[in-house]
Chain A
Protein backbone atom coordinates (compact mmCIF):
# COMPACT_ATOMS: atom_id res chain seq x y z
CA UNK A 1 0.00 0.00 0.00
CA UNK A 2 1.38 3.33 -0.97
CA UNK A 3 3.41 1.77 -3.74
CA UNK A 4 4.24 5.05 -5.37
CA UNK A 5 6.19 6.10 -2.36
CA UNK A 6 9.94 5.87 -2.86
CA UNK A 7 11.68 5.43 0.45
CA UNK A 8 15.12 6.95 0.40
CA UNK A 9 18.17 4.75 0.75
CA UNK A 10 19.23 6.86 3.70
CA UNK A 11 15.99 6.13 5.56
CA UNK A 12 16.08 2.48 4.60
CA UNK A 13 19.63 2.12 5.89
CA UNK A 14 18.76 4.01 9.01
CA UNK A 15 15.78 1.80 9.82
CA UNK A 16 17.85 -1.30 9.24
CA UNK A 17 20.85 -0.14 11.23
CA UNK A 18 18.59 0.71 14.15
CA UNK A 19 17.05 -2.74 14.05
CA UNK A 20 20.52 -4.19 14.42
CA UNK A 21 20.71 -2.30 17.71
CA UNK A 22 17.25 -3.65 18.66
CA UNK A 23 15.68 -0.24 18.17
CA UNK A 24 12.89 1.16 16.03
CA UNK A 25 12.54 4.60 14.47
CA UNK A 26 9.70 5.59 16.77
CA UNK A 27 11.33 4.17 19.87
CA UNK A 28 9.08 1.14 20.25
CA UNK A 29 10.11 -2.38 21.16
CA UNK A 30 9.99 -4.97 18.37
CA UNK A 31 6.90 -6.55 19.88
CA UNK A 32 5.10 -3.39 20.83
CA UNK A 33 1.98 -2.17 19.04
CA UNK A 34 1.18 1.51 18.81
CA UNK A 35 -1.44 3.12 21.01
CA UNK A 36 -4.97 2.39 19.97
CA UNK A 37 -7.85 4.79 20.55
CA UNK A 38 -11.53 4.64 19.78
CA UNK A 39 -14.32 7.09 19.17
CA UNK A 40 -17.51 5.06 19.28
CA UNK A 41 -20.94 5.67 17.80
CA UNK A 42 -20.06 8.88 16.05
CA UNK A 43 -22.37 8.30 13.11
CA UNK A 44 -25.94 8.15 14.32
CA UNK A 45 -27.29 7.26 10.89
CA UNK A 46 -25.32 4.05 10.89
CA UNK A 47 -26.43 1.12 13.02
CA UNK A 48 -22.92 1.07 14.46
CA UNK A 49 -19.74 3.04 13.95
CA UNK A 50 -16.25 3.63 15.26
CA UNK A 51 -13.27 5.78 14.45
CA UNK A 52 -10.10 3.97 15.41
CA UNK A 53 -6.58 5.31 15.49
CA UNK A 54 -3.61 3.00 15.70
CA UNK A 55 -0.63 5.30 16.08
CA UNK A 56 -0.85 7.54 13.03
CA UNK A 57 -3.25 5.30 11.13
CA UNK A 58 -6.84 6.39 11.36
CA UNK A 59 -9.98 4.94 9.87
CA UNK A 60 -13.73 5.06 10.26
CA UNK A 61 -15.92 1.96 10.19
CA UNK A 62 -19.66 2.10 9.75
CA UNK A 63 -22.14 -0.76 9.98
CA UNK A 64 -25.42 -0.57 8.09
CA UNK A 65 -28.09 -3.23 8.55
CA UNK A 66 -30.63 -3.92 5.83
CA UNK A 67 -33.15 -6.65 5.23
CA UNK A 68 -32.49 -8.80 2.17
CA UNK A 69 -32.61 -12.30 0.82
CA UNK A 70 -30.23 -14.94 2.16
CA UNK A 71 -27.96 -16.94 -0.09
CA UNK A 72 -29.73 -20.04 -1.40
CA UNK A 73 -27.21 -22.40 0.20
CA UNK A 74 -27.50 -20.74 3.62
CA UNK A 75 -31.20 -19.88 3.76
CA UNK A 76 -31.37 -19.34 7.51
CA UNK A 77 -28.33 -17.20 8.21
CA UNK A 78 -27.72 -13.53 7.86
CA UNK A 79 -25.00 -12.01 5.73
CA UNK A 80 -21.93 -9.93 6.48
CA UNK A 81 -20.27 -8.02 3.70
CA UNK A 82 -17.12 -6.00 4.15
CA UNK A 83 -15.68 -3.30 1.95
CA UNK A 84 -12.73 -0.98 2.29
CA UNK A 85 -11.89 2.22 0.54
CA UNK A 86 -8.31 3.45 0.46
CA UNK A 87 -9.53 6.95 -0.07
CA UNK A 88 -6.99 9.47 -1.41
CA UNK A 89 -7.93 11.56 1.61
CA UNK A 90 -5.61 9.29 3.60
CA UNK A 91 -2.34 9.46 1.76
CA UNK A 92 -0.68 11.29 -1.10
CA UNK A 93 -0.07 7.84 -2.58
CA UNK A 94 -3.68 6.63 -2.80
CA UNK A 95 -5.51 7.32 -6.02
CA UNK A 96 -9.23 7.62 -6.55
CA UNK A 97 -10.95 5.05 -8.68
CA UNK A 98 -12.22 1.51 -8.29
CA UNK A 99 -10.92 -0.46 -5.31
CA UNK A 100 -7.30 -1.38 -5.72
CA UNK A 101 -5.98 -4.86 -5.01
CA UNK A 102 -4.71 -3.52 -1.70
CA UNK A 103 -8.21 -2.39 -0.73
CA UNK A 104 -9.62 -5.77 -1.71
CA UNK A 105 -7.01 -7.65 0.31
CA UNK A 106 -7.62 -5.39 3.28
CA UNK A 107 -11.39 -5.96 3.13
CA UNK A 108 -11.05 -9.70 2.71
CA UNK A 109 -8.52 -10.17 5.50
CA UNK A 110 -10.80 -8.19 7.80
CA UNK A 111 -13.83 -10.12 6.61
CA UNK A 112 -12.17 -13.44 7.40
CA UNK A 113 -11.25 -12.43 10.93
CA UNK A 114 -14.84 -11.36 11.61
CA UNK A 115 -16.45 -14.30 9.86
CA UNK A 116 -14.23 -17.17 10.97
CA UNK A 117 -14.16 -16.08 14.58
CA UNK A 118 -17.98 -16.16 14.57
CA UNK A 119 -17.83 -12.73 16.07
CA UNK A 120 -21.50 -12.39 15.19
CA UNK A 121 -23.87 -15.36 15.22
CA UNK A 122 -25.26 -15.14 11.71
CA UNK A 123 -28.16 -17.46 12.48
CA UNK A 124 -29.52 -14.81 14.82
CA UNK A 125 -29.71 -12.44 11.89
CA UNK A 126 -32.30 -14.61 10.17
CA UNK A 127 -35.78 -13.10 10.12
CA UNK A 128 -37.71 -15.47 7.82
CA UNK A 129 -35.77 -18.47 6.51
CA UNK A 130 -35.22 -18.39 2.74
CA UNK A 131 -36.93 -15.01 2.56
CA UNK A 132 -35.54 -12.35 4.76
CA UNK A 133 -32.32 -11.93 6.72
CA UNK A 134 -30.30 -9.01 8.02
CA UNK A 135 -27.39 -8.03 5.86
CA UNK A 136 -24.66 -6.24 7.76
CA UNK A 137 -22.57 -3.98 5.59
CA UNK A 138 -19.26 -3.22 7.26
CA UNK A 139 -17.68 -0.40 5.30
CA UNK A 140 -14.49 1.32 6.20
CA UNK A 141 -12.75 4.40 4.94
CA UNK A 142 -9.11 5.02 5.65
CA UNK A 143 -8.65 8.61 6.79
CA UNK A 144 -4.91 8.68 7.49
CA UNK A 145 -2.46 6.00 6.41
CA UNK A 146 0.54 5.41 8.64
CA UNK A 147 1.05 1.73 8.05
CA UNK A 148 -0.56 -1.54 9.18
CA UNK A 149 -4.13 -0.84 8.20
CA UNK A 150 -5.02 -4.50 8.78
CA UNK A 151 -5.01 -4.46 12.55
CA UNK A 152 -6.72 -1.08 12.67
CA UNK A 153 -9.43 -2.36 10.33
CA UNK A 154 -10.17 -5.52 12.32
CA UNK A 155 -10.25 -3.85 15.72
CA UNK A 156 -12.31 -1.02 14.22
CA UNK A 157 -14.78 -3.46 12.68
CA UNK A 158 -15.24 -5.30 15.98
CA UNK A 159 -15.67 -2.00 17.82
CA UNK A 160 -18.26 -0.82 15.30
CA UNK A 161 -20.13 -4.15 15.50
CA UNK A 162 -20.13 -3.93 19.28
CA UNK A 163 -21.91 -0.58 19.07
CA UNK A 164 -24.39 -1.86 16.49
CA UNK A 165 -28.08 -1.85 17.27
CA UNK A 166 -30.45 -3.77 15.03
CA UNK A 167 -34.09 -2.69 14.67
CA UNK A 168 -36.73 -5.06 15.94
CA UNK A 169 -39.19 -6.40 13.39
CA UNK A 170 -42.86 -7.34 13.34
CA UNK A 171 -44.12 -10.17 11.16
CA UNK A 172 -47.00 -9.30 8.89
CA UNK A 173 -49.03 -11.49 6.58
CA UNK A 174 -47.53 -13.03 3.46
CA UNK A 175 -44.01 -13.01 4.85
CA UNK A 176 -43.99 -9.24 4.96
CA UNK A 177 -41.87 -7.68 7.66
CA UNK A 178 -42.28 -4.34 9.33
CA UNK A 179 -39.18 -2.66 10.72
CA UNK A 180 -39.89 -1.11 14.11
CA UNK A 181 -38.38 1.93 15.75
CA UNK A 182 -37.22 -0.11 18.69
CA UNK A 183 -33.70 -1.51 18.47
CA UNK A 184 -31.66 -4.12 20.26
CA UNK A 185 -27.88 -4.38 20.56
CA UNK A 186 -26.17 -6.84 18.27
CA UNK A 187 -24.72 -9.61 20.38
CA UNK A 188 -20.99 -10.08 19.98
CA UNK A 189 -20.07 -13.72 20.52
CA UNK A 190 -16.31 -13.39 20.09
CA UNK A 191 -13.84 -10.57 19.98
CA UNK A 192 -11.25 -11.28 17.27
CA UNK A 193 -8.09 -9.20 17.22
CA UNK A 194 -5.61 -9.24 14.40
CA UNK A 195 -1.92 -8.58 14.81
CA UNK A 196 0.41 -8.04 11.90
CA UNK A 197 4.11 -8.69 12.05
CA UNK A 198 6.47 -7.27 9.45
CA UNK A 199 9.74 -8.74 8.35
CA UNK A 200 12.72 -6.51 7.64
CA UNK A 201 15.90 -8.45 6.91
CA UNK A 202 16.16 -11.02 9.65
CA UNK A 203 14.01 -9.05 12.07
CA UNK A 204 10.31 -9.33 12.74
CA UNK A 205 8.53 -6.33 14.19
CA UNK A 206 4.94 -5.88 15.26
CA UNK A 207 2.61 -3.22 13.84
CA UNK A 208 4.86 -1.37 11.38
CA UNK A 209 4.40 2.29 10.71
CA UNK A 210 4.32 3.55 7.12
CA UNK A 211 8.06 3.75 6.61
CA UNK A 212 8.79 0.43 8.27
CA UNK A 213 6.07 -1.11 6.13
CA UNK A 214 7.72 0.29 3.01
CA UNK A 215 11.05 -1.28 3.97
CA UNK A 216 9.59 -4.67 4.91
CA UNK A 217 9.78 -7.70 2.64
CA UNK A 218 6.95 -9.71 4.15
CA UNK A 219 4.16 -9.51 6.65
CA UNK A 220 1.87 -11.93 8.36
CA UNK A 221 -1.50 -10.98 9.77
CA UNK A 222 -2.90 -13.36 12.37
CA UNK A 223 -6.35 -13.13 13.92
CA UNK A 224 -6.96 -14.51 17.41
CA UNK A 225 -10.14 -14.87 19.41
CA UNK A 226 -10.38 -14.30 23.16
CA UNK A 227 -9.63 -18.00 23.73
CA UNK A 228 -6.29 -17.49 22.00
CA UNK A 229 -7.31 -19.57 19.01
CA UNK A 230 -6.10 -18.60 15.56
CA UNK A 231 -9.11 -17.54 13.50
CA UNK A 232 -7.45 -16.10 10.41
CA UNK A 233 -4.04 -15.81 8.86
CA UNK A 234 -2.63 -14.08 5.84
CA UNK A 235 0.94 -13.81 4.65
CA UNK A 236 1.48 -10.77 2.47
CA UNK A 237 4.16 -9.37 0.19
CA UNK A 238 6.92 -11.34 -1.51
CA UNK A 239 9.23 -12.29 1.37
CA UNK A 240 9.30 -15.72 3.02
CA UNK A 241 9.44 -17.26 6.50
CA UNK A 242 11.17 -20.32 7.93
CA UNK A 243 8.67 -22.60 9.72
CA UNK A 244 10.17 -21.93 13.16
CA UNK A 245 10.28 -18.27 12.44
CA UNK A 246 6.60 -18.24 11.52
CA UNK A 247 5.68 -20.02 14.74
CA UNK A 248 7.71 -17.59 16.80
CA UNK A 249 6.05 -14.67 15.05
CA UNK A 250 2.60 -16.09 15.71
CA UNK A 251 3.37 -16.54 19.40
CA UNK A 252 4.61 -13.00 19.66
CA UNK A 253 1.48 -11.78 17.87
CA UNK A 254 -0.71 -13.70 20.30
CA UNK A 255 0.75 -11.79 23.22
CA UNK A 256 0.18 -8.50 21.48
CA UNK A 257 -3.41 -9.45 20.68
CA UNK A 258 -4.12 -9.70 24.40
CA UNK A 259 -2.94 -6.15 25.00
CA UNK A 260 -4.98 -4.81 22.10
CA UNK A 261 -8.09 -6.69 23.20
CA UNK A 262 -7.73 -5.24 26.67
CA UNK A 263 -7.76 -1.76 25.13
CA UNK A 264 -10.79 -2.62 23.04
CA UNK A 265 -12.73 -4.02 25.99
CA UNK A 266 -11.86 -0.97 28.04
CA UNK A 267 -13.25 1.28 25.34
CA UNK A 268 -16.41 -0.81 24.99
CA UNK A 269 -17.17 -1.05 28.69
Chain B
Protein backbone atom coordinates (compact mmCIF):
# COMPACT_ATOMS: atom_id res chain seq x y z
CA UNK B 1 0.00 0.00 0.00
CA UNK B 2 2.55 2.48 1.08
CA UNK B 3 5.83 3.58 -0.35
CA UNK B 4 8.57 5.12 1.74
CA UNK B 5 10.56 7.68 -0.19
CA UNK B 6 13.65 7.87 1.98
CA UNK B 7 16.19 5.78 3.78
CA UNK B 8 15.84 5.39 7.50
CA UNK B 9 17.84 8.07 9.39
CA UNK B 10 18.00 10.47 6.45
CA UNK B 11 18.21 14.14 7.35
CA UNK B 12 15.07 15.83 6.10
CA UNK B 13 13.98 19.45 5.89
CA UNK B 14 10.53 21.05 6.02
CA UNK B 15 8.50 20.15 2.94
CA UNK B 16 10.40 16.98 2.00
CA UNK B 17 8.17 14.17 0.76
CA UNK B 18 8.62 11.17 3.05
CA UNK B 19 6.10 8.61 1.92
CA UNK B 20 3.08 7.92 -0.18
CA UNK B 21 0.00 5.84 0.50
CA UNK B 22 -1.15 4.68 3.90
CA UNK B 23 1.20 4.59 6.82
CA UNK B 24 1.01 5.37 10.54
CA UNK B 25 2.89 8.53 11.33
CA UNK B 26 4.00 10.57 14.30
CA UNK B 27 5.57 13.89 15.10
CA UNK B 28 7.21 16.15 12.56
CA UNK B 29 4.97 15.01 9.71
CA UNK B 30 1.85 16.24 7.97
CA UNK B 31 -0.22 14.36 5.48
CA UNK B 32 -1.70 16.04 2.45
CA UNK B 33 -3.57 13.85 0.03
CA UNK B 34 -1.62 10.65 -0.42
CA UNK B 35 1.66 12.22 0.58
CA UNK B 36 3.48 12.64 3.86
CA UNK B 37 5.70 15.66 4.34
CA UNK B 38 8.27 16.64 6.92
CA UNK B 39 7.59 19.84 8.86
CA UNK B 40 10.96 20.21 10.57
CA UNK B 41 14.66 19.72 10.05
CA UNK B 42 15.33 16.37 11.60
CA UNK B 43 16.01 12.72 11.44
CA UNK B 44 13.64 10.55 9.45
CA UNK B 45 12.72 7.36 11.25
CA UNK B 46 11.13 4.44 9.50
CA UNK B 47 10.03 1.68 11.85
CA UNK B 48 8.26 -0.46 9.33
CA UNK B 49 4.71 0.34 10.26
CA UNK B 50 5.36 3.79 11.63
CA UNK B 51 7.25 6.88 10.47
CA UNK B 52 8.23 10.07 12.22
CA UNK B 53 10.70 12.94 12.04
CA UNK B 54 12.70 13.64 15.17
CA UNK B 55 13.47 17.32 15.36
CA UNK B 56 17.07 17.83 16.43
CA UNK B 57 16.59 21.31 17.79
CA UNK B 58 13.88 23.51 19.11
CA UNK B 59 12.26 24.98 22.15
CA UNK B 60 10.80 22.72 24.78
CA UNK B 61 7.02 22.64 24.60
CA UNK B 62 5.47 22.07 28.03
CA UNK B 63 3.40 18.95 28.65
CA UNK B 64 1.25 18.28 31.63
CA UNK B 65 3.04 15.92 34.00
CA UNK B 66 6.58 16.82 32.90
CA UNK B 67 9.22 17.45 35.52
CA UNK B 68 11.21 20.52 34.58
CA UNK B 69 13.95 22.64 36.07
CA UNK B 70 13.01 26.29 36.19
CA UNK B 71 14.52 29.60 37.17
CA UNK B 72 12.55 32.18 39.13
CA UNK B 73 12.60 35.44 37.18
CA UNK B 74 9.84 37.39 38.91
CA UNK B 75 8.21 37.30 42.31
CA UNK B 76 4.68 38.58 42.81
CA UNK B 77 2.69 38.92 46.00
CA UNK B 78 1.19 35.47 45.69
CA UNK B 79 2.92 33.94 42.69
CA UNK B 80 6.19 33.41 40.85
CA UNK B 81 7.05 33.65 37.16
CA UNK B 82 9.43 30.92 36.08
CA UNK B 83 11.64 30.55 33.05
CA UNK B 84 11.39 26.91 32.02
CA UNK B 85 13.27 27.33 28.73
CA UNK B 86 10.10 27.16 26.69
CA UNK B 87 8.21 29.75 24.67
CA UNK B 88 6.02 30.31 27.71
CA UNK B 89 6.91 31.36 31.21
CA UNK B 90 5.40 29.11 33.85
CA UNK B 91 3.32 30.36 36.74
CA UNK B 92 3.55 29.00 40.27
CA UNK B 93 0.77 30.09 42.59
CA UNK B 94 1.60 30.48 46.26
CA UNK B 95 -0.91 27.83 47.25
CA UNK B 96 0.85 25.32 45.02
CA UNK B 97 4.29 26.14 46.34
CA UNK B 98 4.39 24.63 49.81
CA UNK B 99 2.35 22.17 51.76
CA UNK B 100 1.47 24.87 54.23
CA UNK B 101 -1.29 27.25 53.21
CA UNK B 102 0.06 30.59 52.04
CA UNK B 103 -1.18 33.67 53.85
CA UNK B 104 -0.54 36.76 51.70
CA UNK B 105 -0.86 39.03 54.74
CA UNK B 106 1.83 37.31 56.82
CA UNK B 107 3.92 35.34 54.38
CA UNK B 108 6.54 36.80 52.08
CA UNK B 109 6.75 35.01 48.75
CA UNK B 110 10.44 35.98 48.45
CA UNK B 111 11.27 33.94 51.50
CA UNK B 112 10.02 30.85 49.75
CA UNK B 113 11.56 31.39 46.32
CA UNK B 114 13.51 34.45 45.23
CA UNK B 115 14.62 35.74 41.84
CA UNK B 116 17.47 33.58 40.55
CA UNK B 117 16.47 30.48 42.51
CA UNK B 118 16.49 27.21 40.62
CA UNK B 119 13.57 24.90 41.31
CA UNK B 120 12.52 21.42 40.36
CA UNK B 121 8.89 21.65 39.47
CA UNK B 122 6.09 19.75 37.81
CA UNK B 123 3.80 21.01 35.08
CA UNK B 124 0.18 20.39 36.07
CA UNK B 125 -1.65 22.15 33.30
CA UNK B 126 -0.91 23.66 29.95
CA UNK B 127 -3.40 24.03 27.18
CA UNK B 128 -1.95 26.75 24.96
CA UNK B 129 -4.59 29.26 25.98
CA UNK B 130 -2.97 29.77 29.35
CA UNK B 131 0.61 29.77 30.53
CA UNK B 132 1.78 26.51 32.05
CA UNK B 133 0.93 26.11 35.71
CA UNK B 134 3.49 24.37 37.87
CA UNK B 135 3.61 23.07 41.43
CA UNK B 136 6.34 22.44 43.98
CA UNK B 137 4.24 21.07 46.83
CA UNK B 138 4.91 17.41 46.13
CA UNK B 139 7.66 15.26 47.48
CA UNK B 140 11.03 15.80 45.83
CA UNK B 141 10.06 19.11 44.25
CA UNK B 142 11.29 22.52 45.29
CA UNK B 143 14.45 24.56 45.43
CA UNK B 144 17.70 23.04 44.24
CA UNK B 145 20.72 24.15 46.23
CA UNK B 146 24.33 24.09 45.18
CA UNK B 147 25.66 21.98 42.38
CA UNK B 148 25.55 23.03 38.75
CA UNK B 149 23.03 23.45 35.99
CA UNK B 150 23.70 22.57 32.40
CA UNK B 151 21.45 22.84 29.39
CA UNK B 152 21.16 20.50 26.46
CA UNK B 153 18.63 20.17 23.64
CA UNK B 154 15.40 18.93 25.22
CA UNK B 155 15.15 16.40 22.39
CA UNK B 156 18.25 14.65 23.72
CA UNK B 157 17.04 14.16 27.30
CA UNK B 158 15.68 10.65 26.67
CA UNK B 159 19.08 9.54 25.39
CA UNK B 160 20.80 10.94 28.47
CA UNK B 161 18.38 9.04 30.67
CA UNK B 162 18.66 5.84 28.69
CA UNK B 163 16.57 2.73 28.87
CA UNK B 164 14.96 2.58 32.29
CA UNK B 165 17.44 5.16 33.46
CA UNK B 166 20.45 2.91 32.82
CA UNK B 167 22.59 5.60 31.27
CA UNK B 168 22.01 8.29 33.85
CA UNK B 169 22.24 5.87 36.76
CA UNK B 170 25.59 4.67 35.52
CA UNK B 171 26.89 8.24 35.22
CA UNK B 172 25.65 8.99 38.74
CA UNK B 173 27.30 5.90 40.16
CA UNK B 174 30.64 6.29 38.43
CA UNK B 175 30.94 10.01 39.08
CA UNK B 176 29.49 9.83 42.61
CA UNK B 177 27.08 12.62 41.83
CA UNK B 178 23.41 13.34 42.22
CA UNK B 179 21.76 14.19 38.91
CA UNK B 180 18.26 15.42 38.14
CA UNK B 181 17.16 15.64 34.54
CA UNK B 182 14.40 18.04 33.56
CA UNK B 183 12.32 17.27 30.49
CA UNK B 184 13.05 20.81 29.37
CA UNK B 185 16.71 19.99 28.72
CA UNK B 186 18.11 21.36 31.98
CA UNK B 187 20.15 19.04 34.14
CA UNK B 188 21.19 19.62 37.74
CA UNK B 189 24.35 17.95 38.95
CA UNK B 190 25.86 17.90 42.40
CA UNK B 191 28.90 16.05 43.63
CA UNK B 192 31.04 16.26 46.74
CA UNK B 193 33.91 17.44 44.57
CA UNK B 194 33.90 19.84 41.63
CA UNK B 195 35.95 17.35 39.63
CA UNK B 196 33.15 14.81 39.97
CA UNK B 197 30.64 17.33 38.70
CA UNK B 198 32.91 18.14 35.76
CA UNK B 199 33.20 14.47 34.91
CA UNK B 200 29.44 14.07 34.96
CA UNK B 201 29.03 17.12 32.73
CA UNK B 202 31.64 15.81 30.36
CA UNK B 203 29.84 12.50 30.04
CA UNK B 204 26.46 14.13 29.48
CA UNK B 205 27.93 16.35 26.77
CA UNK B 206 29.45 13.27 25.17
CA UNK B 207 26.13 11.47 25.29
CA UNK B 208 24.43 14.41 23.61
CA UNK B 209 27.09 14.65 20.93
CA UNK B 210 27.31 10.96 20.16
CA UNK B 211 23.67 10.15 20.73
CA UNK B 212 23.44 8.52 17.30
CA UNK B 213 26.19 5.97 17.79
CA UNK B 214 25.86 2.39 18.93
CA UNK B 215 27.44 1.08 22.11
CA UNK B 216 27.40 4.47 23.74
CA UNK B 217 26.68 3.12 27.21
CA UNK B 218 29.84 1.02 27.06
CA UNK B 219 31.95 3.90 25.87
CA UNK B 220 30.69 6.18 28.61
CA UNK B 221 31.40 3.43 31.15
CA UNK B 222 34.93 3.01 29.79
CA UNK B 223 35.53 6.72 29.83
CA UNK B 224 34.41 7.09 33.42
CA UNK B 225 36.19 3.97 34.67
CA UNK B 226 39.43 5.18 33.09
CA UNK B 227 39.04 8.45 34.92
CA UNK B 228 38.51 6.64 38.15
CA UNK B 229 41.60 4.54 37.69
CA UNK B 230 43.68 7.56 36.96
CA UNK B 231 42.52 9.10 40.13
CA UNK B 232 43.40 6.08 42.22
CA UNK B 233 46.87 5.98 40.75
Direct contact of A and B (CB under 8 A): yes
**Which residues of A in the span 1-50 have a Cβ within 8 Å of any Cβ on B?**
6-14, 17-18, 21
- Asked if B71 is an interface residue, CB under 8 A from chain A, the answer is yes
On whether the beta carbons of B83 and A9 are closer than 8 Å, the reply is no
Give the distance in Å from the alpha carbon of A13 to the alpha carbon of B144 in the complex. Answer: 13
Give the distance in Å from the alpha carbon of A9 to the alpha carbon of B83 in the complex. Answer: 14
On whether the beta carbons of B149 and A11 are closer than 8 Å, the reply is yes
Chain A binding site: helix, strand, loop or mixed by DSSP?
helix
On whether the beta carbons of B116 and A18 are closer than 8 Å, the reply is no
* Interface range, B side: 10 to 19
Contacts of A6 in B (CB 8 A): 71-73, 83, 115-116
Contacts of A18 in B (CB 8 A): 194
On whether the beta carbons of A13 and B146 are closer than 8 Å, the reply is yes
Contacts of B114 in A (CB 8 A): 9
On whether the beta carbons of B194 and A8 are closer than 8 Å, the reply is no
A9 interface neighbour in B73, B117, B188, Cβ under 8 Å: B117
Contacts of A7 in B (CB 8 A): 116
On whether the beta carbons of B116 and A8 are closer than 8 Å, the reply is yes
On whether the beta carbons of B148 and A9 are closer than 8 Å, the reply is no
On whether the beta carbons of B116 and A12 are closer than 8 Å, the reply is yes
Contacts of B83 in A (CB 8 A): 6
On whether the beta carbons of B148 and A8 are closer than 8 Å, the reply is no
**Which residues of B in the span 92-145 have a Cβ within 8 Å of any Cβ on A?**
114-118, 144-145
* Interface range, A side: 10 to 19
- Asked if B147 is an interface residue, CB under 8 A from chain A, the answer is yes
Closest to B116 in A: A9
Contacts of B144 in A (CB 8 A): 10
On whether the beta carbons of A8 and B117 are closer than 8 Å, the reply is yes
Closest to B145 in A: A10
Closest to A11 in B: B149
Give the distance in Å from the alpha carbon of A6 to the alpha carbon of B113 in the complex. Answer: 14
Give the distance in Å from the alpha carbon of A14 to the alpha carbon of B189 in the complex. Answer: 12
On whether the beta carbons of A10 and B194 are closer than 8 Å, the reply is no
Contacts of B145 in A (CB 8 A): 10
On whether the beta carbons of A8 and B146 are closer than 8 Å, the reply is no
Complex interface bits, B61-72 against A, C-beta within 8 A gives 1, otherwise 0: 000000000011
On whether the beta carbons of A10 and B148 are closer than 8 Å, the reply is yes
On whether the beta carbons of A10 and B115 are closer than 8 Å, the reply is no
Give the distance in Å from the alpha carbon of A225 to the alpha carbon of B145 in the complex. Answer: 46
Give the distance in Å from the alpha carbon of A6 to the alpha carbon of B74 in the complex. Answer: 9
Instruction: Return B70 CB to nearest CB of chain A, in Å.
Output: 10
Give the distance in Å from the alpha carbon of A109 to the alpha carbon of B61 in the complex. Answer: 42
On whether the beta carbons of B73 and A10 are closer than 8 Å, the reply is no
Give the distance in Å from the alpha carbon of A18 to the alpha carbon of B138 in the complex. Answer: 33
On whether the beta carbons of A14 and B148 are closer than 8 Å, the reply is yes
Contacts of A17 in B (CB 8 A): 194
Complex interface bits, B164-195 against A, C-beta within 8 A gives 1, otherwise 0: 00000000000000000000000010000010
Contacts of B118 in A (CB 8 A): 8-10
Contacts of A8 in B (CB 8 A): 71, 116-118, 149
Closest to A10 in B: B118
Give the distance in Å from the alpha carbon of A11 to the alpha carbon of B72 in the complex. Answer: 13
Instruction: Return B161 CB to nearest CB of chain A, in Å.
Output: 21
- Max count, chain B CB within 10 A of own CB: residue among A6, A9, A18: A9
Instruction: Return A168 CB to nearest CB of chain B, in Å.
Output: 50
Give the distance in Å from the alpha carbon of A21 to the alpha carbon of B116 in the complex. Answer: 23
Instruction: Return B136 CB to nearest CB of chain A, in Å.
Output: 16
Give the distance in Å from the alpha carbon of A9 to the alpha carbon of B147 in the complex. Answer: 10
Contacts of B71 in A (CB 8 A): 6, 8
Instruction: Return B142 CB to nearest CB of chain A, in Å.
Output: 14
A-B contacts, 27 of them at CB < 8 A, read: A6-B71, A6-B72, A6-B73, A6-B83, A6-B115, A6-B116, A7-B116, A8-B71, A8-B116, A8-B117, A8-B118, A8-B149, A9-B114, A9-B116, A9-B117, A9-B118, A10-B118, A10-B146, A10-B147, A10-B148, A11-B148, A11-B149, A13-B146, A14-B148, A17-B194, A18-B194, A21-B194
Please name the 6 residue pairs, one residue from A and one from B, whose CB atoms are nearest each other, closest first.
A9-B116, A6-B73, A10-B118, A8-B118, A8-B71, A8-B116
Q: A6-B73, A8-B71, A12-B116 are in contact. List 10 more A-B contacts (CB 8 A).
A: A6-B71, A6-B83, A6-B116, A8-B118, A9-B117, A10-B144, A10-B148, A10-B188, A17-B194, A18-B194
Residues of B bordering A, CB below 8 Å: 71-73, 83, 114-118, 144-149, 188, 194
